[in-house]
Structure 1
Amino acid sequence: MNPILAILKEHNVSDAQINQLFQAMTDNPMMAMGMIGQLGIQPEKLQQLMALVMQNPALIKEAVDELGLDFSKVEAAKAQLQN
């Protein structure tokens, strides 16, 4: 299992919430950031999760693929944020 998804599951984040989070990330990354704060993950675990993503951004693509979502939408959202 993808480490991002494993950490979320470890904190009792439901499959529905995980799907909503990654769907939000593909549609509106800023909204996804707000959703992460509402998941109730302990700050030290959230920091660990963010460090993991920063060290290995490919984990996001792996998680999106594992969830069956369209990674090209993540790339489009990323490009939109950079403009």
Structure 2
Amino acid sequence: MNPIIAILKEHNVSDAKIQELFQTLTENPLMAMGTLGQLGIPAEKLQQLLGLVMQKPALIKEAVLELGLDFSKVEAAKAQLQK
């Protein structure tokens, strides 16, 4: 299991919420960060999660693919942020 998804499940985030979070990530990464902050994950675990994403951004792709979402939308959103 992807470590990002594992941390979310460890904090009782439902499969539906995880799916919603990554769907939001594919459409609007900034909004996803706000959603992530509302999940009730303790600050130290949230920091660990964000550190993991920063150190290994490929984990996002793995999680998106594991959830059956379209990774090309993540790439398009990333390109928008870089403009």
1:64-79 matches, within 5 Å, as 64-79=64-79
Gap regions ≥5 residues in structure 2 = none
CA distances 1:12-67 after superposition (whole Å, capped 9, x unpaired) = 00000001000000111111111001000000000000111111110000000000
Count of residues in correspondence between the two structures: 83
State the partner residue of 1:82: 82
Gap regions ≥5 residues in structure 1 = none
State the partner residue of 2:53: 53
State the partner residue of 1:42: 42
TM norm structure 1:
0.98
Following the alignment from structure 1 to structure 2, what is the Cα–Cα distance between the partners of residues 44 and 17? 20
TM norm structure 2:
0.98
State the partner residue of 2:3: 3
Report percent identity of matched pairs. 80
State the 4+ residue runs in structure 1 displaced beyond 4 angstroms: none
SS at match of 2:69: coil
